[in-house]
Amino acid sequence: MYSAAMEETPARLAAKPSWLLTQLAVHAHRLASEGFAEAGARGYHYRILVALHEFGVASQAELGRRVSMDRSDVVAAINELAEQGFVERTPDPDDRRRNLVTLTEAGDRQLRRLEQALDTVQDVLLEPLAAEDRRALTQLLTRLLTHHQA
């Protein structure tokens, strides 16, 4: 079912997957930003917290590479997370020029809040799709992204 906005879009444009993905990405970003804001966070915070949870202690540079963030954005986000007690930053004993970042218990609790917010966003974004279609879409998007990142 097309929305009024889709009816106003030239058919040849609306039939292009790249255009559809871009339009949906804008919508998904807005929903995610709103969900994170309700939890007092930003998407950068979630990216860092989830990487620390999954991979453990990491340098700021490692975190940036793992979550595709610019170094200055990583530093700013870690500063904000440290101020809130969600991460701890300590000098690396092997290289004093580098900081190691650790997830705190408070950070783990915040990550769970952000996961809940993001789960709600996924449900809103994918509302018209059945569970099987959601899995299929995720698999297809993963395949495309993996191909283009190779």
Q: Which pLDDT value is given to residue 63?
A: 96
Domain residue ranges of the chain, discontinuous segments joined by +: 40-120
Distance CA 29, CA 41 (A): 14
Q: Which pLDDT value is given to residue 95?
A: 87
Q: 7-14, long-range: CB within 8 Å, 24+ apart, which pairs? A: none
Q: Could you report the per-residue pLDDT of 47-62, keeping only the tens digit for each?
A: 999 999 999 999 999 9
Q: Which pLDDT value is given to residue 74?
A: 96
Report, as ranges of residue numbers, the positions in the chain whose pLDDT lies below 50. 1
CB-count burial class (<10 Å; 0-12, 13-18, 19+) for 115:
middle
Residue 61 contacts residue 134 (beta carbons within 8 Å): no
Q: Which pLDDT value is given to residue 37?
A: 96
Q: Which pLDDT value is given to residue 1?
A: 46
Tell me which CATH code domain 40-120 carries: 1.10.10.10
Distance CA 68, CA 126 (A): 24
